[in-house]
Amino acid sequence: MTVRFLAVLVLACTAWRPGSAADVRPNVVWIIVDDMSAHFSCYGETAIQTPNVDRLAANGVRFTNAYVTAPVCSTCRSAFITGMYQTSIGAHHHRSGRGARKIELPEGIVTIPKLFQNAGYHTSLGGWPRAKKGRFGKSDYNFEWDASIYNSNDWVDRKPGQPFFAQIQTPGAKRRGGNTEAAEKFQARCAEIFGAATPVSKVTLPPYYPNDPVLLTDWAAYLDCCRYTDRLVGEVVQRLKAEGELENTIILFMTDHGISHARGKQFLYDEGIHVPLVISGPGVEPGQTRTDLVEHIDIGPLSLGLAGIDVPGHMQGRDILATSYESRDAVFSARDRCDETVEHLRSVRTDRFKYIRNFLPQRPHLQPCAYKDKKSILVALRAANEAGTLNDTQQKLLFSSVRTSEELYDLQVDPHELNNLADSPQHAKILADLRETLNGWMEETNDLGRQPETALMYDSDMKVYVDGLRARKQDPAHLQVILDNIALMKKWAAEGW
């Protein structure tokens, strides 16, 4: 008889009412981190040590093949909070539905917090360090939602004996900022906390990036963000222990997508979609390593399952900890518009191969995007390209003026996704099979991105975007870049790009 079965049996046999002393159902705490890949020592990172995440993994289960269905925050968060593909619920464009034109969830779709709340749980959405009272942590959903799905921003105000479902949102790798000055400032802070910052000498960049001083400094600061995040995990565990709740709390640690970089955040290469996923607590057998393919939309169903709450039949995520779970053959990801930049990418990944379809191949990989282009790393990369100092692989992967419509990578021999096999005769059948698999997924899940975003919706969201920057007195030069990019997107669309 498994630990999980015993836990569920106890829950089922317990007479329960909200706030009663008999309510022994487990608490569930999600720690969700911004912009971070699986650079933790339990995942093989050697430049830094992350003892708290490592300990969490040793006490529970570590997934080595967890992938997000969307490599940018709002679309990813819209997906995992519903257990649905963002493409199925119309939430696939980043920061969409924010203007006069709104996005409503399809009928019958209920968010994960609401399901916990309906079952008598206290629900909270907070940050760490603990946010000011009344201030929610990051939500960033691309649909209309009622804030009442969260009782507060911290479980401290729950009723006596009431179980809680808490999300702790943390900036993660955003702490290093977007320029070299901010990265160096953050590292100075880390030197005070840890005794030393991560030196550039310990950084090994992926081969598609040049060993540019700006990139090396940024990556060292990024690794310190991982250390800082690990420290946060330790503080959350200590708080639960001090409150006597640790032994009855399931802790889930995950990031919302990969590192923000030229082939990471916003893109469907593994740097953008591969994330850490660690779960520990009652009902989770310790010391496990799972290598099967899972998706981040699974965290809702598995959390409901561990809490003894029925998982709605419409939910596309799966309870990957259930005894009846059957492992996937593939995982899927999608990228659409990010801020002003129009894009349309889809991918399917098996345990060995990755297939990416570029629906707008006439556009370059690094389209104009004001959010990313102002970062020091992108400025440095563009300068290196102009100076001709990139090697052939780096120049081709980052700065080709057009893309192929299909990409195929053998991840077993090419984990960095450098060699596109789409034109290889030896891989023609694999290409055809994965193309058909992706087509089937788009059809079966009703991928709403198959139709382009309407001009009315685009204009509605761009108005909010631009007006918001003006209200915050954004640098006029940066604002003009955004306006120019919007004009360019409209021009390319009119030309059939």
The pLDDT value given to residue 141: 98
**Stronger pLDDT, 12 or 175, i.e. the higher one:** 175
For residue 243, give both structure tokens.
Answer: 């409150």
Domain boundaries, the chain: 3-178+223-322
pLDDT band at 23 (very low <50, low <70, confident <90, very high): low
Mean of pLDDT over the chain? 94
pLDDT tens track for 35-75: 999 999 999 999 999 999 999 999 999 999 999 999 999 99
Concatenate the DSSP letters of all residues of 449-494 into one string. Answer: GGSPPPHHHHHHHHHHHHHHHHHTT--HHHHHHHHHHHHHHHHHHH
pLDDT tens track for 383-428: 999 999 999 999 999 999 999 999 999 999 999 999 999 999 999 9
Checking if the pLDDT of 10 tops 60, the result is no
Closest CA to 457 of 140, 92, 101: 101
pLDDT tens track for 140-154: 999 999 999 999 999
pLDDT tens track for 84-130: 999 999 999 999 999 999 999 999 999 999 999 999 999 999 998 77
Confirm if 298 and 319 have CB atoms less than 8 A apart.
yes
pLDDT band at 476 (very low <50, low <70, confident <90, very high): very high
Residues listed for the chain: 497
| pLDDT-wise least confident of 194-208, 341-355, 421-435, 461-475 | 461-475
Q: What is the 3-state secondary structure (H, E, C) of 371-403?
A: HHHCCHHHHHHHHHHHHCCCCHHHHHHHHCCCC
Residue 387 corresponds to which amino acid? A
Count other Cβ atoms within 10 Å, centred on residue 181: 10
Checking if the pLDDT of 487 tops 90, the result is yes
Confirm if 442 and 450 have CB atoms less than 8 A apart.
yes
Checking if the pLDDT of 176 tops 90, the result is yes
Q: State which CATH number among 3.40.640.10, 3.40.720.10, 3.40.50.620, 3.30.70.1290 fits the domain covering 3-178+223-322.
A: 3.40.720.10
pLDDT band at 17 (very low <50, low <70, confident <90, very high): very low
Confirm if 208 and 394 have CB atoms less than 8 A apart.
yes
Q: How much of the chain exceeds pLDDT 90, in percent?
A: 93
pLDDT tens track for 332-347: 999 999 999 999 999 9
Confirm if 252 and 299 have CB atoms less than 8 A apart.
yes
For residue 431, give both structure tokens.
Answer: 């290409």
pLDDT band at 20 (very low <50, low <70, confident <90, very high): very low
- d(Cα 443, Cα 225) in Å, to the nearest integer? 39
Residue 291: CB partners within 8 Å, gap ≥ 6?
Answer: 64, 65
The pLDDT value given to residue 7: 44
- d(Cα 337, Cα 492) in Å, to the nearest integer? 14
Residue range 467-493: mean pLDDT, rounded: 94
Closest CA to 331 of 468, 223, 233, 441: 441
Confirm if 26 and 166 have CB atoms less than 8 A apart.
no
pLDDT tens track for 213-272: 999 999 999 999 999 999 999 999 999 999 999 999 999 999 999 999 999 999 999 999
Residue found under tokens 């702790």: 168
Residue found under tokens 């004001």: 370
- d(Cα 489, Cα 483) in Å, to the nearest integer? 10
The pLDDT value given to residue 129: 78
The pLDDT value given to residue 130: 75
Checking if the pLDDT of 13 tops 80, the result is no
Closest CA to 150 of 124, 181, 173: 124
- Is it true that the peptide bond before 163 is cis, omega within 30 degrees of 0? no
The pLDDT value given to residue 291: 98
Residue 196: CB partners within 8 Å, gap ≥ 6?
Answer: none
Checking if the pLDDT of 436 tops 70, the result is yes
The pLDDT value given to residue 1: 35
pLDDT band at 133 (very low <50, low <70, confident <90, very high): confident
The pLDDT value given to residue 16: 37
The pLDDT value given to residue 413: 98
Count other Cβ atoms within 10 Å, centred on residue 379: 15
